[in-house]
Amino acid sequence: MLKKWKKYLGLTFLSVAVVGCSPGGPEDDASGDSSSEAEDGQTTIRFAWWGNDERHDITQEAIELFEEENPDIVVEPEYTGWDSYWERLTTQAAGDNLPAIVQMDNSKLTEYISSDLALNLNDLIDEGTINMEDVSDVYQDMLVVDDSTYAISAGSNGLSTIYNQELFEDYDINLEPGYTYDDLHGEMERLSEEEGEDFWGYDFVKAEYETFFHYARQFDQHFYNKEGTGVGFENETLEDFLSILTTWMDEGVATPHDVAVEINESGESMVANEEAGMASAASNGLIGVQTLSEADLGLNVMPNAADGEKSGNWVRPSMSFMISNNASEEKQEAAAKLIDFITNHQEANEILRAERGVPIASEVRESLSSEVDETVQETFEFLEVLEERAGDSEPLPPPGEAEVRAAFDRMVENVKYKEMTIEEGVEGFVEEAEQILAQ
């Protein structure tokens, strides 16, 4: 009910899946200068990203504008889908051949930092090559480790819920910011009963891992401890969270696990298909989900664990841009100019249309808000609300996060299928997670 928030507050993997496309860009070359187009006095840099065809097309268009304004720099694109992307980067890193600019996911960045593959950008920021004067710290905090900046946010989002506005209006459902899980359960139970068979009020979209981060933070706990050597939550907190998941599913309020898996793998959306009223999502996921839906969709904040509890949310980079530490200084300088261009150039952002998330530079964000369509505007408005409610940024996840997440997802599936009790699941998961993180 974002539009109604203005009265009260003065106002995607999660669209979890990333839609892939065929690998693109030039073949790798150990020198990093595979293009025959570069002329004397020009610097060639490689720029890698994952995404779909739309992201590829608009990024290419922005690159062309950058090259027009910076004729001494040639940018070679390397793009692919999510899975192929990380396989390719692993091979390139092993060959000391990473692209100069790497689009980076929050869950992966720590591994690149710890392997000394990510350049500390402080000097490039201090000298103004990457101008961050118009960027609030809240958009960058997650990417700063021990006072060193290892990436620049490509756009911001936050954990949210996407809901069917028309359905909520029909049933007079009003969940204003500050609503609780109990409030949500009551409304989703009513919605499920009224809509009948093959309809569920809420869809967790296989996003239990991200949702638990938010849940634990409301009790001043975190998924990982400060050192990244173990979990940072009490077993009881995770048990309570899993009790919500299983109870809602058993009552028919939330989607069954097998349905959620099938929909997630298909790239569809229960809310877009009008088979669920509300779902967990990254706020910028609204853009893609709305294209799949005939109904008008909206954004809302996540529920609170209890009345008066603080929000567990924070503003986070939807993805970021890292500069390779093994690139030459000349290429690093050119890469920094391109990142600055994407961050601060008005016309470039009109081309990119906030597809990677809400722009982090305030002037760009303000001027662009009147240029984008209504759906994208709603993601801008959501970030305004989130800034007012957000807590401190969550640190980057530690090395081993991918294994921990996989263990968490397995545990949740086993608990949902009644193959183990909640207590058994939590105890076993915590033991496995701490073994992984201690390595």
Contacts with 90 (C-beta within 8 Å, 6 or more apart), sequence order: none
On whether the CB atoms of residues 129 and 337 are closer than 8 A, the answer is yes
Residue with tokens 């924070």: 314
pLDDT in tens, 310-357: 689 999 999 999 999 999 999 999 999 999 999 999 999 999 989 899
Band of pLDDT at residue 370, cut at 50, 70 and 90 = confident
pLDDT digits (tens, 9 = 90+) for 414-438: 999 999 999 999 999 999 999 999 9
Residue 105 to residues 109, 153, 206, Cα–Cα distance (Å): 6, 10, 18
Residues with Cβ within 8 Å of residue 298, at least 6 apart in sequence: 1, 2, 3, 162, 163, 165, 168, 286, 378
**For the whole model, what pTM was predicted?**
0.84
Question: What's the pLDDT at 308?
Answer: 55
Find all residues with CB under 8 Å of 329, minimum gap 6, and list them.
Answer: none
pLDDT band at 264 (very low <50, low <70, confident <90, very high): confident
Sheet holding 316-323, edge to edge: 73-80, 43-50, 101-104, 316-323, 152-157
Stretch 119-133: mean pLDDT: 98
The residue that leads in pLDDT, 85 or 3, is 85
Residue 17 confidence (pLDDT) above 50 = no
Token pair of 222, please?
């975190």
What pLDDT does 145 receive? 94
pLDDT of residue 384: 87
Q: Amino acid identity of 413?
A: E
The domains of the chain, with CATH numbers, are: 43-154+317-384 (3.40.190.10)
Res 18: pLDDT: 33
Tokens 């006072």 found at: 147
What are 33's two structure tokens?
């200068």
According to DSSP, the residues that pair with 78 across neighbouring strands are: 48
Answer for the pair 332, 100: CB distance below 8 angstroms, yes or no.
yes
Between the alpha carbon of residue 296 and those of residues 103, 162, 233, 283, 290, the distances in Å are 31, 10, 38, 15, 7
* DSSP structural state of residue 417: T
DSSP-derived 3-state class of residue 73:
strand
Residue 63's SS3 state is helix
**Distance (Å, rounded) from C-alpha 78 to C-alpha 25?**
4
Q: For position 233, what pLDDT does the model report?
A: 97
Q: Pick the more confident residue, 8 or 221.
A: 221
Alpha-carbon distance of 286 to 375, in angstroms, equals: 7
When pLDDT is averaged across residues 145-166 and rounded to a whole number, the result is 96
**56: number of CA atoms within 13 Å, CB side?**
19
Asked whether 326 and 98 are in contact (CB, 8 A), the reply is yes
Percent of the chain residues topping a pLDDT of 90:
78
Distance CA 125, CA 438 (A): 34
- Which pLDDT value is given to residue 307? 66
On the 0-12 / 13-18 / 19+ scale of CB atoms within 10 A, 428 is middle
Do 253 and 202 touch, CB atoms closer than 8 A? Answer: yes
- Please answer whether residues 34 and 26 qualify as being in contact, where contact means their C-beta atoms are separated by less than 8 angstroms: yes
Of 32-36, 48-52, 204-208, 410-414, the range with the lowest mean pLDDT is 32-36
The pLDDT of residue 22 is above 50 = no
Contacts of 205 (CB under 8 A, 6+ apart): 14, 16, 260, 263, 264, 269, 270, 279, 280, 281
pLDDT at 26: 43
Position 37 pLDDT exceeds 60 = no
C-beta atoms surrounding 190 within 10 Å: 15
Residue 338 buriedness (CB in 10 A; 0-12 / 13-18 / 19+):
buried
Q: Give residue 19's identity as a one-letter amino acid code.
A: V
